Structure 1
Amino acid sequence: MESVFEAFLSFYLNPGFFYGTVLVVLLILFISIFYRLFPNSGFSILFDYFFEKMYDFFEDILGNEEKKWIKTYVVILFFVILISNLLGVFLEILVPVFGNIADTDVSLLKKYIDIPTADINFNIAMALIGLLIIIFEQFRALGFGKALYEYFPIFGKNYLPYTRGNLNPIFDWPLFILVKIFDLIISLFLGLLEIVGHFAKVISLSFRLFGNVTSGGMLLAMLVGAISGLTLTYLNFEFPVLGPVILYFQSLLVALIQALVFPLLIAIFIKVAKFA
């Protein structure tokens, strides 16, 4: 019989996501504490080198003039996603050990622990925070009035320039008014696209990470199952050895790439927003 705490979690949260998030947080805390206590260890030196390289990488994108806390945030975001994805690869390695629930394709291990980046809500939350930083940096760089005018250009933005005085006044003023009306319509439409584009960024960032992480795990499970069946049929050997190792290395590569893409896009969006 499940406890009151488990019933509470099952009602309000996904227990697997909750425990997975707690595990990621504990891993981050362990790395931080270990780095503080043993700064001269091989792991700490390697981590410090890796952190500095990622910081320099994002600094080249954002620029030296960008605030340090934004560059640090983007780098930390990379490590959070990377640790979560690597935890997912580790869980995928353990999946064959625990097996699946009867009559389903759900792993017994996945039922209780699931990585945060495999949950769409977690990815949307990260994307929303990134969007707030993008908008904040845009307003800080352009100024409140100019940045707000990018979204609500109520007087137009002169996309259709027109110089008065070259035609007869009878035609000059009506043509000028007509051009201004079209310019205003185009400007307001592009301003609306800017607003819609922000929502599209959230959807694109969150669903890209969610889709790649979840589909990678599903594809890996299908390939491992297929190879396992082939080896069992033709070699009378129940579990493959070489096949999963290759697939797991592929999963490690995917975990690294997806951890890089998310903060990279946020860094690019921040850079572009300043030159709107």
Structure 2
Amino acid sequence: MKDLFLFSSLLDPSHTFSYFFHLALVIFIAVVIAIMATRSMQLVPRGMQNLGEAFLEGVLSMGKDTLGNEKDARKYLPLVATLGIIIFFSNIIGIIPGFHSPTASLNLTLSLALIVFIYYHFEGIRTQGVVKYFSHFMGPIKFLAPLMFPIEIVSHFSRVISLSFRLFGNIKGDDLFLMVILALVPYVAPLPAYVLLTFMAFLQAFIFMILTYVYLAGAVKIEEDH
């Protein structure tokens, strides 16, 4: 089945241009919303400021539950919140006719997964030190270390695949589902589908954020008896 009409095809019909066009659009929307939310800060938040503060409080609460304290949750809040915003708007824009989800491309999801992968290892090494950080890859039993170390390495690399392909697969599937619905019954059937796809957009952004916090917690909160 051929793609439905995309506004980006008016400028360039290539898939590469479509990806960068919609990614740039998502970034633009995120920046505009951030400016609107912080343009006139008030003690009693209203409008976009209220929405922005509610989102950040939710992400901060997620981080406190995962990391165990507010200090570390605030430290990683900019990264996790930014990932959530970009992923959510990348997901949600795809349910608007004429637009395409950047997260339906492995280029974006893999890039975001690699950012998380590199950053949590960097934080683990910076916080624990190289020796201590990599020593927990060997497990609690020394004679099993030659077996546990390669398993742990594979496990960590599999996180990149898990993060990127889970997000890519779900959003790509949602886009294809909506494409079929719009092609078959474009006026009635999409209405309940939009509710489901909007929920999925929230859910996939939430999963990516909570896993980022979990991986960071695993890297910087290594117990002495691990």
TM-score, length basis structure 1: 0.68
Q: CA RMSD in A?
A: 2.4
Alignment of 1:1-276 (within 5 A): 14-39=16-41, 41-64=46-69, 65-66=71-72, 68-90=74-96, 94=97, 109=98, 114-151=100-137, 159=141, 183=143, 186-226=144-184, 228=185, 239-241=186-188, 243-273=189-219, 274-275=221-222
Q: Percent identity?
A: 28
* 1:82 Cα deviation from its structure 2 partner: 0.8
> What is the alpha-carbon distance in structure 2 between the residues aligned to residue 150 and residue 130 of structure 1?
19
**Unmatched segments (≥5 aa) in structure 2:** 1-10
Give 3-state SS (helix, strand or coil) of 2:141's partner.
Answer: coil
**Unmatched segments (≥5 aa) in structure 1:** 1-5, 95-108, 161-182, 229-238
Give 3-state SS (helix, strand or coil) of 2:72's partner.
Answer: coil
* 1:52 Cα deviation from its structure 2 partner: 1.6
For residues 6-52 of structure 1, the C-alpha deviation after alignment (integer angstroms, 9 at most, x for no partner) is 88x95xx8111010111011101111221232445422222222222
- Aligned twin of 2:5: none
Give 3-state SS (helix, strand or coil) of 1:14's partner.
Answer: helix
- Aligned twin of 1:100: none
- Aligned twin of 1:105: none
Change (3 A) 1:115 1:224: closer
Give 3-state SS (helix, strand or coil) of 1:66's partner.
Answer: helix
Aligned residues: 208
* 1:158 Cα deviation from its structure 2 partner: 6.6
> What is the alpha-carbon distance in structure 1 between the residues aligned to residue 194 and residue 27 of structure 2?
23
Moved over 4 A (4+): none
For residues 177-227 of structure 1, the C-alpha deviation after alignment (integer angstroms, 9 at most, x for no partner) is xxxxxx2xx31221111111121000110000000001011112223444x
> What is the alpha-carbon distance in structure 2 between the residues aligned to residue 41 and residue 158 of structure 1?
52
| Contact 1:58/1:71, CA 8 A, preserved across alignment | yes
> What is the alpha-carbon distance in structure 1 between the residues aligned to residue 114 and residue 217 of structure 2?
17
* 1:67 Cα deviation from its structure 2 partner: 6.0
> What is the alpha-carbon distance in structure 1 between the residues aligned to residue 113 and residue 107 of structure 2?
10
TM-score, length basis structure 2: 0.81
* 1:62 Cα deviation from its structure 2 partner: 1.8
> What is the alpha-carbon distance in structure 2 between the residues aligned to residue 21 and residue 69 of structure 1?
26
* 1:137 Cα deviation from its structure 2 partner: 2.5
> What is the alpha-carbon distance in structure 2 between the residues aligned to residue 47 and residue 146 of structure 1?
38
| Contact 1:123/1:206, CA 8 A, preserved across alignment | yes
